[in-house]
Chain A
Amino acid sequence: MTMDLNQLKQAVFEKGRAYGFSEMEIYYQADRATSVRIFKGDIDTFNIVERAGLSFRGEYQGTMGVAYTEKLDEASIDQMLQAARENAEVTQSEEKAELFAGSESYREARSFSDELHNTDAATLIQAALDMEAAGLAADPRIELLNSCSVVNSNSEVMIVNTKGLDCRTASTMAVCQVSALAKEADAVATAYDNAFSAASLADLDVQAFGDRVGRDAAAKLGAQEIESDNYEIIFRNNAIATLLHTYSSIFSGSNADKGLSVLQGRLGEAVAGSNITMIDDAHLPGAPGNTPFDSEGVATGRTEVIKDGQLVSFLHNLKSAKKAGVASTGNAYKAGYRGDLTTLPNNLFIMPGSQSLDELIASTKRGIMIIELHGLHSGTDAISGDFSLAALGHYIEDGKIVRPVNQITVAGNFMKMLQNVEAIGRDLRFQGTGRGACGAPSLKIKSLTISGK
C-alpha cells in the first residue's frame, strides 16, 4: 500500500463526489501468508505473500457502480472511479442495490489468534517436516508425499461507507494439506486431505494428520471396479460435505429468484426427508467460516435453511432479501476486493445424528462407502442438482468392509438424495477454509446408481 488507510478513504470519497457519486463504500482487504512445501525431507518451495486491494461501490444516478484496484496511487484511484461510473451507467438490474448503514450490534467472531500471528517460519517448516515423516511412516507402501504443505495466513477486512457503516475484522488461519502416494507392484493409489485451525498450529496435530492420510492411501491399494448396479450408499462425512459445498448455490436467494435453482418457488415445501435439518451459522465454535459481518456489513447470525425436511429460508444478501420481502440473512459475499457481490453460506451444515460411521457400515447389507469424489466442478449441475461423479470407496457386504473400489461413478440428484437418507452419522465435518464452508456428518442413502464394469 502506498497510502495510509484513513487518508485513502478520505481521498476516495472526496474524488468520488467529484465524479458524481451520491453514496460510496470502500471494501479494503489485506492478506499476508507464509507457506512451505516439503518434498522428500527437503524444503521444496517456500512462499511469502502480501497483498492488499480496494474495491469501490458507489451510487451514481440511482444505480450502483463497482470497480477495484490493487494499485493504490492517485492515478489508479481515478481510473477506478471512472470505471465504476461507467459500470453504473450500463447496469440495468430491476432491483437496486443499496449501501447499508450498519446493524445495531455485531457479535465478535474470535477468529484472530496472536499465537498463529506470531508463529515463525522455522516452526512452520518443522511442522511440515514432521507431517511428511509421519505420512511416510504410516505404512511401508507409502512411496512419497507428492504434496505436503503448511500455510499460515492472516487477513484484515474493512468496510466503510458514507452512510455511516464502519466494520473491521481480522482473522488468522493455519492450513495443512497432504497428498500421499502408495505403491505396491503395479498398483498406485493416492489420498489427499487438509485440516485447518484458526487458533493454533498445535490444533492441526500434523503427525496424527500425516499418519491418517498415509494410511488412507495404503488402504486404497488393490482397488478394483465393481459391477454396474444400484447399491446402498454411505457418503463418508468428507465426501458429502464436498458435495454440499458444490451445491450450496441451490440455497442462494438470488439464484432462486433468477430461476437458477431447482428450489425456486418451493419455500415452505418438503424438499428433503423429515430427518434432514440444515443450518447456516456464522458463529459456530471451531468452524472455518465464522465472521461478525458479511460483505455488505450486515451482522451475521444463524439461519435455519431446512427444518425437518421443509425449506424454511434461502440465504440472502440485501438485494435478494428485499426482493423476497424478508431481512438479509447476512450471506452477502465478495471473494475479497476482486469479487462481485453474490450470496454464499458462512458455515452451512447438515445437523448430525446419533450413529457412528461404524454403525452405518454395520447396518449396510450390500453397499459402497464413498470416500472421495472427483470432477465436482464439471460433473455436477448446480441448477438441476443432477450429478454423475467419478468416485472411490470401499465395498461393504453384510455390514463389513470387503475391499477398496475405484474406476466407478456415482450418479443421482442432490435434492432427491436428501429425501432418501436412511441414517445420519454423528461425525460432523467441514470442508473449506473460510466463508462458504460446508459441513456434514456421514450419510447413508437407500440407493444410488453406480457405474463400473
Chain B
Amino acid sequence: MLSQALIEDVLAAALETGGDFADVFVEDKTINTISMIGGSVESALTGRDFGVGIRVISGLFAVYAYTNDFRRDNLLHVARQAAQAIRGTKRDLTLDLRRTVLKSEHPILILPETVSKARKIEHMRRAHEVAKAYDPSISQTSITHKDEDQKVLIANSDGLFVEDRRTRNRLYIEAVATFGNEKSVGSSSPGAHQGFEFMENLNVEEHARLAAHTAKTMVRAEFAPSGKMPVIIDNEFGGVIFHEACGHGLESTSVAKKVSVFSDKVGELVASPLVTAIDDGTIPNAWGSSTIDDEGTPTQRNVLIENGILKGYLIDKLGAKRMGMQSTGSARRESYKFAPASRMNNTYIAAGSTAPEEIIANTEYALYAKYLGGGSVNTATGDFNFVVREGYIVKNGKIEKPVRGATLIGKGIDVLQKIDMVGSNLGFGQGMCGSISGSIPADVGQPMIRVAELTVGGRKGE
C-alpha cells in the first residue's frame, strides 16, 4: 500500500515536536452494495475508500489527522501539521520498523471481487421470493447485499509494521406487511467476517421466513402494555441488552475518564451470579472478529463479568495509558476517518443450564421479547433503551398472544442484577454498533434470559 521507507519518514515527521508515540493507519477498502426493492434491482453501488490516518500522542493528549492525498509531500505535510499541535522538546529518534506477517485467523475462501454481481443477486432474489410468498399481507420487500474487502496497514513508533485484510458479507432482508391502514416491518440480517462462501452456505429461505413472520404477526398484533413487569428476552440478537446495558459502559473511553457507572468496580458484584459475560474478537469468521485490532494489537477473549463479578474492561492504547493497564486488543474504528477507540467485538452472556421451554413454563406473566432491535445507552447514567421487534405476552407458563410497539428501558447495573434465569440456548446475532469511532460490525449474543422486572414502554390504552 505505502512503502516502509515512506511510513518511517511519516512517523519521524509526526514525532518532530516531541510527541511520545505516533502511529499510521492506511486503509484501502472496496465496498459493494446492491439493493433490491420488490424483486427488482433498484441500485448497485461500488466504492473504493482510500486514506491515511496519522496520530501523535503526547502524554494523554492525542492529535489525529487524516487525508486521502497519498503523495509523499502531502503525507509529510499532514504529519507535521499534526505534530505542530504538540509543543514538546524534540528528541533524537531512531525508528526500526519490524514487519510482522500475520496468519489470518479468519480464512476467506471466495473474495467478493471474484464473484459476479449476477450471482450475488441470485441470493437476493431467493430471499425476496420466499418473503413475498410467505403471506398475502406481505406488501413489499427490501433486500440488500453488502460486501466489503478492507486492507489495512498499521505501523507505529514502537516498531510495529503489520498488514491485515478483513472481508465481510451481509444480507439484509426486510419484509413489510400491510393490514388495513397499518404497516409493519420484519427483518433478518445475517453476516460474517467471511468471503462469499458465507452466502453460499446461508439458509437464505429461513431468514426470509423469519422477517416475513415478524411483519405478518406484528401488523395484526395489539399494542404492548405499559409499565413494569418481568421480561423474557430470547437468544441471538437479544444479547443487545448486555451490549447496551453494560458493554458500552466497560469501554475505556468512558471508564478511564471515570464517567462510567462501572468505573473503579473491578472485583465487585455488579450482576446476578448467574451472569458470565465475555467479549471475544477471536471467534473464527464471526461478524465482529478480526485477527488484530485497529492499533495492530492481536484481538483476544476478554472475560468481562464472571459469575456476577466485574473482571475487566475493554481497553485501547490511549485508555491503557490513562488507566495504567494493558490494551485488551479492543481498539476499533469505522475507517481511517476516525481515531481508534475501545470498542466491543463479539459480546455475549455465556450459556446457563435452564432449558428455554422451562423458563417460559415457569413464568406466570411476562413480556416475551422474541426478537429485539437496536438500542442506545448513556454510559454516564447507565440509562439504556432498546426496541422489541417481535413480542408476545406469556401468561401462566404459555405464550398467549403477540404484542407490538414495545420499547424496554432500564439502568445497566440494575437490570444485570435482576436477571433471574439464564437459558442454555446461546446464539449470536449481527449488528452495527455506533459510537465515538464510527459504525463498526459487532456480534451480540446470549441464551434466553429472564429479567425479574423491566419498564416496558407500550401504548395500550391510548
A residues apposed to B, CB below 8 Å: 1-2, 39, 42-53, 65-71, 76, 79-80, 83-84, 86-87, 89-94, 121, 144, 146, 181, 188-190, 225, 228, 230, 258-260, 262, 338, 340-341, 374-375, 377-379, 381, 383-384, 386, 388-390, 406-412, 447-453
Contacts and interface: CB of A to CB of B under 8 A. Distances in A.
A115 to B, nearest CB: 22
Interface stretch (B163-171, B299-307, B404-412): B404-412
A411 B458 contact: yes
A105 B383 CA distance: 51
14 contacts: A45-B62, A67-B45, A70-B48, A71-B28, A87-B45, A90-B44, A90-B118, A91-B41, A228-B227, A340-B43, A381-B185, A407-B410, A411-B462, A452-B227
B461 A388 contact: no
Given A45-B339, A47-B65, A67-B45, A90 B121 contact: yes
Contacts of A374: 376, 378, 383, 385
Contacts, number: 252
Contact of B69 (A52, A67, A375, A384): A52
B405 A48 contact: no
Contact of A87 (B46, B228, B378, B406): B46
B254 to A, nearest CB: 8
Nearest first, the 4 A-B pairs at minimum CB distance are A409-B457, A390-B385, A378-B374, A83-B46
B376 to A, nearest CB: 5
A82 to B, nearest CB: 9
* Residue of B40, B118, B409 most packed against chain A (CB within 10 A): B409
A67 B383 contact: no
B49 A411 contact: no
A50 B61 contact: no
A448 B407 CA distance: 15
A1 B374 contact: no
Nearest to B32: A83
Interface residues of B, number: 86
B71 A2 contact: yes
B2 to A, nearest CB: 12
A69 B384 CA distance: 38
Nearest to A45: B62
Contacts of A67: 45-47
Nearest to B372: A378
A259 B386 contact: no
Contacts of A410: 457
Given A230-B461, A379-B387, A381-B185, 16 more contacts: A2-B70, A43-B85, A44-B62, A45-B62, A47-B64, A48-B63, A48-B81, A86-B117, A87-B43, A258-B38, A374-B383, A375-B375, A375-B376, A449-B462, A451-B409, A451-B458
Nearest to B46: A83
Nearest to B50: A71
A442 to B, nearest CB: 22
B172 interface: no
Interface of B: 28, 33-35, 37-38, 40-51, 60-71, 78, 81-82, 85, 116-118, 121, 139-140, 142, 176, 178, 181-185, 223, 226-228, 254, 257, 259, 261, 337, 339, 373-376, 378, 380-381, 383-387, 404-407, 409-411, 434, 455-462
B26 to A, nearest CB: 11
A225 B462 CA distance: 20
A51 B337 contact: yes
Contact of A383 (B37, B68, B183, B259): B183
A69 B50 contact: yes
A222 B47 CA distance: 50
A294 B135 CA distance: 40
Contact of B49 (A70, A384, A386): A70
Contacts of A49: 65-66, 337
B380 A190 contact: yes
A47 B339 contact: yes
A374 B385 CA distance: 7
A411 B405 contact: yes
B459 A388 contact: yes
A285 B173 CA distance: 42
* Residue of B85, B185, B380, B383 most packed against chain A (CB within 10 A): B380
B179 to A, nearest CB: 11
B457 A340 contact: no
Nearest to A377: B374
A188 B381 contact: yes
A44 B68 contact: no
Given A48-B65, A375-B386, A378-B374, A259 B176 contact: yes
* Residue of A45, A262, A408 most packed against chain B (CB within 10 A): A45
Given A80-B48, A90-B117, A451-B455, A409 B376 contact: no
Contacts of A91: 41-44
Nearest to A182: B380
B40 to A, nearest CB: 4
B385 A379 contact: yes
Nearest to A69: B48
Given A50-B66, A50-B78, A340-B43, A259 B139 contact: yes
Contact of B142 (A121, A188, A260, A379): A260
A69 B140 CA distance: 32
B438 to A, nearest CB: 13
Contacts of A453: 227-228
A144 B254 CA distance: 12
Contacts of A80: 46, 48
A169 to B, nearest CB: 21
A67 B456 CA distance: 44
A205 B81 CA distance: 28
B380 A146 contact: yes
Contacts of A409: 226, 385, 407, 409, 455, 457
Nearest to B253: A146
A190 B462 CA distance: 30
Nearest to A183: B380
Given A48-B65, A377-B374, A411-B459, A70 B51 contact: yes
Contacts of A262: 181, 183
B380 A386 contact: no
Contact of A375 (B60, B67, B407): B407
Contact of B43 (A93, A230, A260): A93
A255 B385 CA distance: 28
B380 A188 contact: yes
A259 B35 CA distance: 15
B455 A384 contact: no
Contacts of B64: 45-48
B60 to A, nearest CB: 8
Contacts of B71: 2
A123 to B, nearest CB: 14
B383 A2 contact: no
